[in-house]
Amino acid sequence: MVERNSLLLVTLLLGFFGNASTAEETAVGKALYAQSCAACHGVKLEGGKTQSLIDSIWQFGQKRSYVFRNIKYGIADFAMPAYEVALTDKQIDQVIDYILAMEKEIGTPKPPLPQALHTLDYQVKVEVVADGLDVPWAIDFLDKRRALVTERGGQLRTVVDGKLLPQPVSGTPEVVAEGQGGLMDVAVDPEYAENGWIYLAYSHALPKREGKGRPLTMTRLVRGHIRENAWVDQEVLYEAAPEFYGSTRHHYGCRIVFDPEGYLYFSVGERGIGRHAQDLSRPTGKVHRIHRDGSIPKGNPFVGVEAALPTIFTYGNRNPQGLAVHPQTGRVWESEHGPMGGDELNLLSAGRNYGWPEVSFGRNYNGNIISELSDRAGIDAPALYWKPSIAVCGIDFVRGDRFPKWRNQLLVGALKYEEVRLLDIRGDRVIHQEIILKNAGRVRDVACGPDGAVYVVLNGPGTVLRLTPADPDGVFSSL
């Protein structure tokens, strides 16, 4: 766009074309692009001062709504200005229509998955260990040979020696696979070799009320065993009271981790009703702590507090889709979806308030301000926030000897930005972050396996990747 816009990163994305624009609208979009975008992205969209818009590599999300918001509100981290004053909403749509049409007409295919990555510390080999999955959501490991992967539609799949078994586990609980709901997390008991317990978190429905519309849903937590590829011995560990079920189909949370003392932590999103995250009488917008049999620890921060739910460990959490326990300190870290901007990484402490929606670094999706405050007394500030939102999701710490330079650093997955980031954490501070994987697909989960390799779960293209050092010593010889 004209000189003041010379660093524009329009981040226009393939997909969600909607209705074809008329020839007149396309011509208007072409003229607006020439006036406002060509100086940076090239007259033929081939790139210049900034990236190409026709190479099918989209840095900041694939949905049309992401494109629109990036243009209108800008990307401060990349010096992209906001165009909410310079362009009307209709003009932004016309620009998007033109570029998406050109991408469709002359664009190049998206590159295949990489076979190698170059990071600051390692050259990394990339392998596909499972493919053709239907919207995979989470991975955990039974041992060094076997892993379990959830598919959001309700299937629990098994990977053995790097091969996906053709048949899913039978008899798993019925889920509501609508919106963001479905079968979400899977977690293997720390003493699995002795007790065989496996834990599942999913969106559960109450029986449909006669004449009352679609079923009401809520996050539910169960455990069971797998015998002869069948789910058996199911026990319900957490099920909210019926009055807390809702008709929305998003913000379920649904992550599970265990700390060194054997406590089980699980997250529940605020289901799209922000004020409920501050209400201690409601389970939504919280991280909860229970024993592995579902009983409530006596030391939980709100045990005995009038009207408060005794399972609550923290509150004011919008949609926590990542939980991880630090290998040395045993403390729980949480990643949390913000709205438009304001994704958070939090170090959790018992009984603390993490602010949503009373403080936030983000805006509503319609551009309205959620809160004028980004901090306030009595509310714990995030250790790190991302603005704009990267759509942060699963997280895990690196353990073992395979990546010694990365040991105890935090892996962070991002859906919208299609990234895996590596965060160097010292105490309660993040001192550095590096992008180690980019544009392979929407990253729903990341995990460090018992073999020390890094596993990456991609919603699209329904794939699980395995990352290992590419050379015997695991480091560049030049370092």
pLDDT digits 0-9 by tens, 256-287: 999 999 999 999 999 999 999 999 999 999 99
Q: Which of 318, 320, 319, 316 is nearest to 332 (CA)?
A: 320
Distance CA 75, CA 89 (A): 17
| 404 and 474 share one domain | yes
Q: Is 454 a residue whose pLDDT tops 80?
A: yes
CB 53 within 8 A of CB 44: no
Domain at 473, CATH number = 2.40.10
Tokens coding 304: 């005995």
Distance CA 5, CA 1 (A): 5
| 123 and 102 share one domain | no
The answer to the question of residue 422 being in a domain is yes
Domain boundary among 61, 90, 106: 106
Active site annotation includes 276: no
**What is the structure's pLDDT at 240?**
98
What range does the domain containing 90 cover?
3-106
The answer to the question of residue 397 being in a domain is yes
Q: Output 1 or 224, whichever has higher pLDDT.
A: 224
The answer to the question of residue 294 being in a domain is no
Active-site residue among 204, 225, 250, 251?
Answer: 251
| 44 and 126 share one domain | no
Q: Is 475 a residue whose pLDDT tops 90?
A: no
| 27 and 120 share one domain | no
Task: Categorize the per-residue pLDDT at 19 as very low, low, confident or very high, splitting at 50, 70 and 90.
Answer: very low
Cα 421 to the chain's mean position, in Å?
Answer: 12
**What is the structure's pLDDT at 318?**
97
Mean pLDDT is highest, among 49-58, 79-88, 375-384, for 375-384
CB 249 within 8 A of CB 188: no
| 120 and 73 share one domain | no
Cα 197 to the chain's mean position, in Å?
Answer: 26
Strands across the sheet containing 183-188: 183-188, 198-205, 217-227, 230-239
Q: Which of 253, 258, 267 is nearest to 192 (CA)?
A: 258
| 410 and 438 share one domain | yes
| 26 and 55 share one domain | yes
The answer to the question of residue 169 being in a domain is no
**What is the structure's pLDDT at 68?**
87
The answer to the question of residue 121 being in a domain is yes
| 442 and 461 share one domain | yes
Query: b/e for 126-160, b at 16 or more Cβ within 10 A?
Result: beebbeebebbbbbbbbeeeebbbbbbebbbbbbe
Distance CA 131, CA 116 (A): 18
| 448 and 417 share one domain | yes
Say what the pTM is: 0.85
Q: Is 7 a residue whose pLDDT tops 90?
A: no
Distance CA 442, CA 462 (A): 9
| 9 and 102 share one domain | yes
Least confident of 2-16, 124-138, 332-346, 425-439: 2-16
Q: Is 253 a residue whose pLDDT tops 90?
A: yes
> Is the bond preceding 190 in cis, omega lying within 30 degrees of 0?
no
The answer to the question of residue 343 being in a domain is no
**What is the structure's pLDDT at 394?**
98
| 16 and 90 share one domain | yes
The answer to the question of residue 426 being in a domain is yes
Strands across the sheet containing 454-458: 116-118, 123-130, 463-469, 454-458, 443-448
Distance CA 221, CA 477 (A): 47
Task: Categorize the per-residue pLDDT at 13 as very low, low, confident or very high, splitting at 50, 70 and 90.
Answer: very low
| 453 and 416 share one domain | yes
**What is the structure's pLDDT at 478?**
29
For the segment 411-424, the average pLDDT, to the nearest whole number, is 96
Domain at 35, CATH number = 1.10.760.10
Q: Is 390 a residue whose pLDDT tops 90?
A: yes
- Structural domain tally of the chain? 2
Q: Is 474 a residue whose pLDDT tops 70?
A: no
Distance CA 321, CA 138 (A): 11
- pLDDT 10s digits, 310-331: 999 999 999 999 999 999 999 9
Domain boundary among 106, 123, 146: 106
Domain boundary among 65, 88, 106: 106
The answer to the question of residue 34 being in a domain is yes
